[in-house]
């Protein structure tokens, strides 16, 4: 019984990590790895794909790994898309006035 509970919690944690890596960390890392090349080959564009799920999401920075609440895959998905949107907007502000463009 204890093992099943541990396994269930482990699967939830792994699911959260996978969803967040696929939808946020991957695009974030790729953008930063390519940023110097994009700047050098201006005019260039950075395009981040998102979904409307970000509009329904909020990120609880006090419980970023969802340890205090129930795991809801759609909610984690929305949070990852919201993080992607926030990153895109922040990057757009940083690159404002440059010869490359940021699209959301």
The catalytic residue positions are 77
Contact assessment for residue 68 and residue 12, using Cβ atoms and an 8 Å cutoff: no
User: Residue 42: helix, strand or coil by DSSP?
Assistant: coil
Residue 102 to residue 50: CA distance in whole angstroms: 13
**Burial (CB count <10 Å: 0-12, 13-18, 19+), residue 100:** middle
Among residues 98, 88, 6, the alpha carbon closest in space to that of 47 is found at: 88
User: E strands along the chain, which residues?
Assistant: 44-47, 100-103
């Amino acid at each position: 019984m204890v093992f099943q509970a541990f396994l269930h919690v482990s699967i939830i944690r792994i699911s959260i990590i996978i969803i967040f890596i696929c939808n946020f960390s991957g695009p974030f890392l790729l953008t930063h790895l390519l940023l110097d090349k994009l700047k050098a080959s201006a005019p260039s564009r950075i395009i981040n794909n998102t979904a409307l799920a970000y509009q329904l999401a909020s990120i609880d920075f006090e419980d970023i790994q969802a340890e205090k609440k129930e795991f809801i895959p759609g909610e984690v998905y929305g949070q990852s898309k919201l993080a992607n949107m926030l990153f895109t907007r922040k990057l757009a502000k940083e690159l404002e006035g440059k010869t490359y463009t940021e699209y959301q």
